[in-house]
Structure 1
Amino acid sequence: PSTLPERLYERVFAESYLYFYRNRERFSDLRIVIIYPSRSKEQSDIRPYLSQLNSPQVNRIYLDELGDIRSLPVWVALMVLTILEDEQATEEAKYLLTRSQRETPEPANRAIIDLLTTIMVYKFEGKSQTEVEEMLGITLKETRVYREIREEGEKSLVLRQLTRRVGELPQEVRQRVESLSLEQLENLGEALLDFTSMADLETWLEALES
């Protein structure tokens, strides 16, 4: 939104302390980080919270004061990307993609690509996911959305083929098949061509799980 709630600090501190209270046994310390695009967006009435805001346990970050986006760690630079104008955001997004591929090992690089794509889709509301990917030079196969669609498609295909081969699958067997990775589903898609009964499928699954 263009303006942040004037009672943001009321909500941040109330919910943070309540969450900490309810999960006290899990945590030994409390840290609160509040991220603003700029100081001009900060809640104006901060007097009731001066002691909390000046505490070493509370950090306020203003994205437009972090410096050159290209000098920042990639994960921090992604936050700064959200406040840039469209033309600059596109240029810097391409730079961050190249830098991430060079510096960040998998699977972290995949996570960065997915997050960066999500940020740009949000910034360019009039463009589709595919249009944004083309604008950034990202191939569809690199995105989480594509991998999820491919996995769901492979799962649906394998289940249909199994039903034709060995009959309706019991719920327990169906769940085991649905939990397989994309690579395992592809392997099953090849193996099921030799199945003649439910026993063949169960033997294959047991061998995989052993």
Structure 2
Amino acid sequence: MRLYAETARLLQQQAVIRNWRVVVLCPSRQLNFGDPSPVIEFLEKRVQWLELLPSRQAADAPLLLQALGLLIQAEDQLAAAAAELRFKAAGTALATDLSDVITAIVVSRFSGRSIPELCAMGGITIEDFSQSVAYKEIFGLGEARGKAEGKAEGEARGEAKVVLRLLQRRCGPINPSQEAMIRALPLEKLEALAEALLDFSGAADLTGWLQQ
């Protein structure tokens, strides 16, 4: 949608756009794209090819473009290729961005691997990995979600204890199956039960509420 919006904005600024290009991002132009004859003029004048295979890239290709080649790099060559890119970017303003790109590519390609394995593939330290955007967005979010879920679970356990004590006073002894059902309730249901039990007059009311 963002691409469409930018295109529309450009069209509004100029009635006629003559100097436009199509960018094709591919492993290599040597792939079989079909017979080019019908669109040969279009290909020669309007298409900008960005090839990802290292063997098809110019020696002075932008480092971020070279980094995208890691998407199709063989696994056994990945660490060496990443280390070479990081060496080229060392001491430049691009170093941090390049490190983030490499980390994101490694994480997306090998999401089932351990963090030390991912670091070895990307040629980065665990400290650098933990400071990357990919780590913070994926692993950091998971940690925050885990803490939130743990807090909610703890609150639910505490609420269940209070509700069970109140139910015993209001309805008498609670049988084991009902107790298990109550302890398994999420926090919002426990809060609803705590409010509803104020109107209970016996065990039948609890049974009816649980059945609902």
Larger radius of gyration: 2
